[in-house]
Amino acid sequence: MGKITIAIDGYSSTGKSTIAKQLARALGYVYVDTGAMYRAVTLFAMRKGFIDENHKDVEALVNTLDKIELTFHYNEELEFSEMYLNGENVEKEIRTMEVSQFVSPVAEIEAVRNKLVAMQQEMGRKKGIVMDGRDIGTVVFPDAEVKIFMSASPEKRAYRRYKELLDKGEEVDYDEVLKNVQQRDAIDSDREFSPLRKAEDAIEFDNSDMGLEEQFERMYNFALRVIGKQ
């Protein structure tokens, strides 16, 4: 049976990566978390002092983009691919609130997007891939056979992210997480280059009140139907 491309887009903390991982595992496909790539570039920019609360040096970051090597390495124990920045495993560090604060301003830089989109398209050249992000169905793979657009209320999403961070032992405040979710939504949706929007042919999926199992069943069956038609 022919392999397809599955593009999953949507607002932050809608559970895109959870469903993408489940689908990839069930189908034997590769899963790519494109948010991790934007987060790794952000971490690089923070470490170099190109971005902080008071400034963003776009030129300096753009001029050093070719010094950023991003790779995914599969972790057999965790059963997913971890993000490496110039050979260093940064999987934990890129998930902190600090990186979350700066990632949207970095992701709106055109040269950053061009570099990462080209890498993502190369990864998906042979299909058999589930990719999640903000512009996968619109820009990276406009011809993807399955496009899903995920949404849920900001409060539900903030609560999920809050619990996730607490579970990881980070000290966080719910209101701060909610503010971050809302700010990221706004920047991601209003930016000039490939803003977050639903592709015309994407299926919208609001999981505010849906359990993980039901969500997976629905999407998996949908993907199987599409694959069956290939």
Paired tokens of 115? 């570099």
Q: Which of 31, 43, 135, 158 binds ligand DC (CB under 6 A)?
A: 135
> Count residues contacting ligand DC (CB under 6 A)?
13
Q: Which of 39, 115, 156, 157 binds ligand DC (CB under 6 A)?
A: 39
Q: Which of 27, 40, 85, 103 binds ligand DC (CB under 6 A)?
A: 103
- Rounded alpha-carbon distances, angstroms, from residue 108 to 44, 50, 56, 61, 212: 16, 15, 12, 13, 31
Residue 180 near residue 100 (C-beta atoms within 8 A): yes
Residues 137-161 as b or e (16 or more Cβ within 10 Å = b): bbbbbeebbbbbbbbbebebbbbbb
Q: Which of 35, 41, 101, 141 binds ligand DC (CB under 6 A)?
A: 35
149 binds ligand DC (CB under 6 A): no
Nearer CB in complex with ligand DC: 4/43: 43
12 binds ligand DC (CB under 6 A): yes
Min separation Cβ 182 and ligand DC, Å: 12
Beta strands 80-85 and 88-89: pairing type?
antiparallel
**At CA 83, angle to CA 82 and CA 88, rounded to 5?**
110
Min separation Cβ 203 and ligand DC, Å: 18
Nearer CB in complex with ligand DC: 18/227: 18
Beta strands of the chain (E only): which ranges? 5-10, 30-33, 70-75, 80-85, 88-89, 129-133, 146-151, 203-206
81 binds ligand DC (CB under 6 A): no
Q: Which of 31, 85, 129, 188 binds ligand DC (CB under 6 A)?
A: 188
Residues near ligand DC (CB under 6 A): 12, 34-35, 38-39, 103-104, 107, 133-135, 184, 188
